[in-house]
Amino acid sequence: MVLSGKMAAPGIAVGRVHVYKKAGFIPKESYVPKGKEQSHLDRYLAVKKSAFDELEELKILMQEHDPQKAEIFIAHQEIIEDVVINEEIPSRILNERWSGDWAIYQVYETVLLVLQKAADPLIAERAADFDDVRTLLLRLWYGNKDEGLSSLSEPVIIAAQDLMPSDTASLDRNKALALITEKGGLTSHTAIIAKSYGIPTVFGIHGLLEAVKHGQLAVINADEGKVILDPEDEIAAEYEQKYDAFRKDKEDAEKYLLKPARTLDGEKIDIGLNVSGVSAGELAPSSYVDAVGLFRTEFLYLGRDALPDEEEQFHAYKKVLECFGERPVILRTLDIGGDKQLSNLNFAREENPFLGNRALRFCFSNPDIFRTQIRAVLRASVYGNMWLMFPMVNSIDDIRRAKETVVSVKEELEKEGKPAGQFKTGIMIEIPSIALLADYAAQEVDFASIGSNDLCQYMCAADRMNSEVEPYYQSYHPAMFKLIKEVTGAFTKHGKSVSICGELAGDPLSASVLAGLGMRKLSMGAGSVASVKRALCSITVKRASEIADKVLECATAEEVQRELGKIKE
């Protein structure tokens, strides 16, 4: 039997299935006798403290081995101490005489329903964290032991309806051959950890738990989003060989992690890191990259009741700049709208939000928010090598208007005795109109970074969040590489820096082509750094240019795919 889902992390695995069904606690609606309310409140407070202490132990343990995982438990501690929740639960117990377990369940359920309906997938994914914390509180309320995935005795393929953040955080990476689930999102903590650990993962497998059995032999081809149950001996043997090759390939790539990305003929390619926060886990890869190629500042704004003020932003930006020292930090101004909505602002309903009031357009229509961020950025620029970048630029007018705001804010700060440091100003190239005007744009700014994900979306007229048009969103579309060549050439001609920070940059095959097109700066997620460095260290610029020329001659994405496949030959 073959089941299909979506790849969350690539790779191959062959092994026995471990069906994981986490205990669910759904209490019955119940109330306490009059006069007993305080005892239930006291018990809730004791359970809350025990939950916080349990998370503290896990956090300390993880900080020694994996700072990124530790951040998950910190986030869960923050949920336990959430002000609104800790007003609502006691109120329900004392004023309406709800039993403690019923109050915990129902108050968290209200939060979950709000989060699950959020348009922004990053916010919707937070529902898993709240559900995880609720399960922890109810487990402790009932006095049950934790029977998670931390005690697996042998390597297995883990099958589940869904995996909570605490499940994957406590997982022994050496005991997980693969993860397969019925639910799960590509931006979830599980997906992030699976990618960083290199665990093949397939999400969204309809009917998985009805089809799979505990101990059943299975083959996972995450690259194709396939799960093969009870494979025939020949197929199992074939995939055993593929798995062995996958494992060896991964180990070989990791040897390049601490090496510079230098081609066989000595050309240095700068490798940047895409950063979405300021936690220890986010900044841990700083030791093996050349820069922050994309600092997404939205993390400061999403999933909260109030906008971050200037001081909070200043300290966050300062932290990253100090971490990277003299190395560049490309900070992208607020990129809100499209698939990222703020819960603390009322956005007008748009039929096509990706074509609407988002990113720089949103900032222009909300100048107070924009100026507050620019003030924080310019103040922080004193502490490192800041490169300020504007997203969703459509025209030369957009560039000039954004630059005028920066000049105005800079003058304002200087009058207050808060001078800015040295910084560069640049743009993201993700709308075809500005890509076609790259020669003019290069004369207006210090640098550019190509956002290949949105550029592909707008060029192919295919919403990258819409699975119905997924076949039309072609990152290997020949026009993508033609446009990248034109942009790279235009900025290079004017002596201006140009980089790329979308999914193409983290793809080892296309990274070689990008080098052949003249690109010398690539930025990606931490999980892609080793394989991209290896690809670049294994090719000459001349060979990369030859491959790039072949790609530019292709007429279809399929033809490009075939040309890229020849790189490994």
pLDDT tens digit string along 434-490? 999 999 999 999 999 999 988 998 999 987 766 677 788 888 999 999 999 999 999
> Three-class SS of residue 329?
strand
Planar angle of CA 101, 103, 108, nearest 5 degrees: 100
Most confident of 2-6, 53-57, 163-167, 411-415: 411-415
Please state, in angstroms and rounded to a whole number, the distance separating the CA atoms of residues 136 and 170.
14
Based on the domain organization, do 57 and 161 belong to the same domain?
no
Q: Is residue 526 part of a domain?
A: yes
Based on the domain organization, do 336 and 401 belong to the same domain?
yes
Please state, in angstroms and rounded to a whole number, the distance separating the CA atoms of residues 221 and 307.
43
Read off the pLDDT band of 148 (50, 70, 90): low
**Model pLDDT for residues 25-64, shown as the tens digit of each residue:** 788 889 999 898 999 999 999 999 999 988 888 777 666 5
CATH code of the domain containing 202: 3.50.30.10
Q: Is the pLDDT of residue 343 over 80?
A: no
Q: Residues 273-286: what's their mean pLDDT?
A: 82
Are 274 and 523 in contact by the 8 Å Cβ rule? The answer is: yes
Check residue 375 and give its pLDDT: 96
Based on the domain organization, do 199 and 286 belong to the same domain?
no
User: Residue 132 is inside which H or E element, if any?
Assistant: helix 126-142
- The per-residue pLDDT of the chain, averaged, comes to 87
Check residue 404 and give its pLDDT: 97
Are 328 and 291 in contact by the 8 Å Cβ rule? The answer is: yes
Check residue 459 and give its pLDDT: 93
Last residue of a domain, one of 241, 259, 289: 241
Q: Among all chains, which residue has been given the structure tokens 């790259």? A: 438
- Of 69-78, 164-173, 529-538, least confident by mean pLDDT is 164-173
Q: Is residue 120 part of a domain?
A: yes
Based on the domain organization, do 138 and 182 belong to the same domain?
no
Check residue 338 and give its pLDDT: 55
Q: Is residue 31 part of a domain?
A: no
User: Residue 564 is inside which H or E element, if any?
Assistant: helix 557-565
Structural domain of residue 225, as residue ranges?
A: 2-22+148-241
Based on the domain organization, do 117 and 167 belong to the same domain?
no
CATH code of the domain containing 335: 3.20.20.60
**Model pLDDT for residues 507-564, shown as the tens digit of each residue:** 899 999 999 999 999 998 888 899 999 999 999 999 999 999 999 999 999 999 998 8
Q: Is the pLDDT of residue 342 over 60?
A: no
Please state, in angstroms and rounded to a whole number, the distance separating the CA atoms of residues 485 and 548.
9
Check residue 26 and give its pLDDT: 81
Read off the pLDDT band of 161 (50, 70, 90): confident
Residues with Cβ < 8 Å from 319, sequence gap 6 or more? 278, 283
Last residue of a domain, one of 109, 125, 142: 142
Q: Residues 353-376: what's their mean pLDDT?
A: 88
Q: Is the pLDDT of residue 344 over 60?
A: no
Q: Is residue 257 part of a domain?
A: no
Check residue 7 and give its pLDDT: 85
CA atoms within 13 A of residue 456's CA, in its CB half-sphere: 23
Structure tokens at 362: 């949103």
Q: Is residue 247 part of a domain?
A: no
Q: Is residue 337 part of a domain?
A: yes
Planar angle of CA 384, 389, 393, nearest 5 degrees: 175
Based on the domain organization, do 437 and 465 belong to the same domain?
yes
Last residue of a domain, one of 118, 142, 166: 142
**Model pLDDT for residues 209-225, shown as the tens digit of each residue:** 889 998 999 999 998 88
Based on the domain organization, do 152 and 135 belong to the same domain?
no
Quick one: which of 510, 546, 547, 548 has its CA closest to 528? 510
Which residues are the active-site residues? 189, 501
| pTM exceeds 0.75 | no
Check residue 358 and give its pLDDT: 82
Based on the domain organization, do 512 and 496 belong to the same domain?
yes
CATH code of the domain containing 55: 1.10.274.10
How many domains are there within the chain?
3
Based on the domain organization, do 348 and 397 belong to the same domain?
yes
Based on the domain organization, do 169 and 129 belong to the same domain?
no
Read off the pLDDT band of 359 (50, 70, 90): confident
Based on the domain organization, do 91 and 137 belong to the same domain?
yes
Residues with Cβ < 8 Å from 525, sequence gap 6 or more? 195, 273, 274, 506
Q: Is residue 248 part of a domain?
A: no
Structure tokens at 260: 């510079």
Residues with Cβ < 8 Å from 315, sequence gap 6 or more? none
Check residue 185 and give its pLDDT: 64
Q: Is residue 261 part of a domain?
A: no
Q: Is the pLDDT of residue 267 over 90?
A: yes
Are 205 and 7 in contact by the 8 Å Cβ rule? The answer is: no
Based on the domain organization, do 215 and 294 belong to the same domain?
no
Q: Which residues of 68-106 are buried (b: 16+ CB within 10 A; e: fewer)?
A: bbbbbbbbbbebbebeebeebbbebbeeebbbbbbbbbe
3-state helix, strand and coil shares in percent for the chain, rounded to the nearest 5: 55, 15, 30
Check residue 196 and give its pLDDT: 64
If you count them, how many residues does the chain have?
569
Quick one: which of 72, 245, 227, 100 has its CA closest to 160? 227
**Model pLDDT for residues 486-501, shown as the tens digit of each residue:** 999 999 999 999 999 9
